[in-house]
């Protein structure tokens, strides 16, 4: 690891001012320390959020909204009774207990891709500035790669929490050098391009201070769920995740939100799955049709065709689980 100066500001504003000129922001450090040790990042300065006050880690309900500080750990989110059940489920299964005790909401959303080629500097990688993506070549390790929007980069977005936040219409509150601003969840994500390691639209000096989301609770008619399929129960990332939010009237779906994770370079909303649900009386057959719709337009690689079926299954299971929560 390259030696660096460590800065510990006490407010997001001061953190933003300390960033720039290649400085790297660190929250829980689960992703950042890996990148430093792997020399994927070699900054001269690391700006740690460890000294931000308790407000930046708080979780509170306010009317039909929930506010979560970006420094809230995954363990606290998983144990919260005010966040949507889908977010609780997604968070409780992420990583491992030890990691959840350190990892934060802001860091989880902004973690870099787990693509093994990105993480190993001896391989070329488009995101690290090379000409092409080696994962797209015949014979490459493609099992965990994306099956949507996988050109020019085939990575799969690693955040388990992102789909549930998408279904809750989350809004990011961001502190930057020009002041504070709000970013709608769908606008947080940037398609991969050459030399761009981050999957977000944030500037290097931006710090997420907190996230506000819809509570999506049963009292307001919502039924929500998260489903994921993973190879290992812990210390690994899921192969496919799906979060759903449904609102029903007289047995018919009147509103639906379906988000997928780990299938494309960014979290992905499935408009096709939502269209297959809205206006229909819900049953398992409709859920299965929505799963089939969710994989329309998929472009799997020769090494990850199996993920198409995983998406169908995850979507169907999430919908059936959510519907059963009436």
Ligand X SMILES: Cc1cc2nc3c(=O)[nH]c(=O)nc-3n(C[C@H](O)[C@H](O)[C@H](O)COP(=O)(O)OP(=O)(O)OC[C@H]3O[C@@H](n4cnc5c(N)ncnc54)[C@H](O)[C@@H]3O)c2cc1C
**Footprint on residues 144-203 left by ligand SF4 (CB under 6 A):** 153-155, 192
Token representation of residue 255: 């509103």
Closest C-alpha among 192, 194, 22, 191 to residue 124: 194
**Footprint on residues 119-148 left by ligand SF4 (CB under 6 A):** 125-127, 133-135
Shortest Cβ distance from residue 68 to ligand X (Å)?
11
Among the residue ranges 57-65, 113-121, 248-256, 312-320, the one whose residues contact ligand SF4 (CB under 6 A)? 113-121
Nearer to ligand SF4, 194 or 247 (CB): 194
Nearer to ligand X, 3 or 233 (CB): 233
User: Of these partners, ligand X, ligand SF4, none, which one is at the site of residue 115 (CB under 5 to 8 Å by kind)?
Assistant: ligand SF4
212: part of which helix (H) or strand (E)? strand 207-214
Question: How far is residue 183's CA from residue 267's CA, in Å, rounded to a whole number?
Answer: 15
CA–CA distances in Å: residue 301 to residues 162, 183, 314 = 24, 33, 20
Nearer to ligand SF4, 130 or 292 (CB): 130
Helices 306-323 and 284-294: angle between axes, nearest 10 degrees: 140
User: Of these partners, ligand X, ligand SF4, none, which one is at the site of residue 16 (CB under 5 to 8 Å by kind)?
Assistant: none
CA–CA distances in Å: residue 220 to residues 7, 216, 277 = 44, 7, 19
Instruction: Please give the size of the binding site for ligand SF4, defined by CB under 6 A.
Output: 14
Nearer to ligand X, 168 or 256 (CB): 168
Question: How far is residue 147's CA from residue 32's CA, in Å, rounded to a whole number?
Answer: 26
User: Of these partners, ligand SF4, ligand X, none, which one is at the site of residue 31 (CB under 5 to 8 Å by kind)?
Assistant: ligand X
Shortest Cβ distance from residue 160 to ligand X (Å)?
3
Q: Name which position in 56, 117, 157, 246 contacts ligand SF4 (CB under 6 A).
A: 117
Exposed e or buried b for every residue in 216-246, given b needs 16+ CB within 10 A?
Answer: bbeeeebbbbbbbbbeeeeeebbbbbbbbbb
Nearer to ligand X, 260 or 286 (CB): 260
Shortest Cβ distance from residue 58 to ligand X (Å)?
14
Shortest Cβ distance from residue 123 to ligand SF4 (Å)?
7
Assign 275 to helix, strand or coil.
helix
Nearer to ligand X, 25 or 240 (CB): 25
Question: How far is residue 159's CA from residue 320's CA, in Å, rounded to a whole number?
Answer: 23
Decide if residue 115 touches ligand SF4 (CB under 6 A): yes
Among the residue ranges 91-99, 100-108, 115-123, 165-173, the one whose residues contact ligand SF4 (CB under 6 A)? 115-123
Closest C-alpha among 244, 316, 240 to residue 84: 244
Shortest Cβ distance from residue 196 to ligand SF4 (Å)?
10
Decide if residue 314 touches ligand SF4 (CB under 6 A): no
User: Of these partners, ligand SF4, ligand X, none, which one is at the site of residue 95 (CB under 5 to 8 Å by kind)?
Assistant: ligand X
Question: How far is residue 17's CA from residue 159's CA, in Å, rounded to a whole number?
Answer: 27
Q: Would you tell me how many other CB atoms lie within 10 Å of the CB of residue 302? A: 9
Shortest Cβ distance from residue 298 to ligand X (Å)?
22
Nearer to ligand SF4, 17 or 196 (CB): 196
Question: How far is residue 106's CA from residue 27's CA, in Å, rounded to a whole number?
Answer: 8
| Residue 66 backbone phi and psi in degrees, to 5 | -125, 135
Binding residues (CB under 6 A) for ligand SF4: these are 113, 115, 117-118, 125-127, 133-135, 153-155, 192
């Amino acid at each position: 690891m390259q030696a660096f100066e460590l800065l510990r500001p006490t407010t997001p504003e001061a953190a933003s001012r300390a960033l720039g000129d290649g400085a790297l922001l660190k929250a829980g450090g689960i992703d950042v320390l890996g990148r430093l040790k792997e020399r994927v990042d070699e900054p001269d300065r690391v700006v740690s959020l460890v000294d931000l006050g308790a407000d930046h880690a708080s979780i509170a309900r306010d009317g039909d909204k929930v506010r979560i500080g970006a420094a809230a750990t995954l363990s606290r989110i998983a144990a919260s009774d005010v966040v949507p059940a889908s977010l609780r489920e997604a968070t409780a299964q992420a990583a491992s207990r030890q990691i959840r005790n350190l990892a934060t909401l802001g860091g989880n959303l902004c973690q870099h891709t787990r693509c093994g080629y990105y993480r190993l500097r001896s391989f070329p990688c488009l995101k690290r500035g090379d000409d092409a993506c080696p994962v797209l070549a015949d014979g490459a390790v493609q099992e965990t790669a994306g099956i949507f929007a996988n050109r020019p980069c085939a990575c799969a977005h690693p955040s388990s929490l992102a789909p549930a936040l998408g279904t809750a219409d989350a809004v990011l509150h961001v502190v930057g050098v020009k002041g504070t601003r709000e970013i709608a969840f769908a606008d947080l994500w940037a398609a991969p391009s050459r030399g761009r390691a981050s999957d977000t639209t944030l500037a290097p000096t931006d710090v997420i201070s907190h996230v506000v989301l819809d509570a999506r609770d049963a009292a307001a008619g919502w039924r929500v769920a998260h489903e994921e399929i993973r190879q290992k129960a812990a210390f690994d990332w899921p192969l496919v995740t799906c979060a759903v939010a449904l609102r029903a009237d007289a047995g018919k779906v009147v509103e639906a939100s379906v988000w997928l994770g780990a299938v494309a370079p960014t979290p992905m909303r499935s408009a096709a799955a939502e269209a297959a649900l809205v206006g229909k009386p819900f049953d398992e057959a409709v859920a299965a049709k929505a799963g089939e719709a969710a994989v329309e337009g998929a472009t799997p690689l020769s090494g990850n065709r199996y993920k198409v079926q995983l998406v169908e299954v995850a979507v169907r299971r999430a919908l059936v689980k959510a519907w059963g929560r009436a």
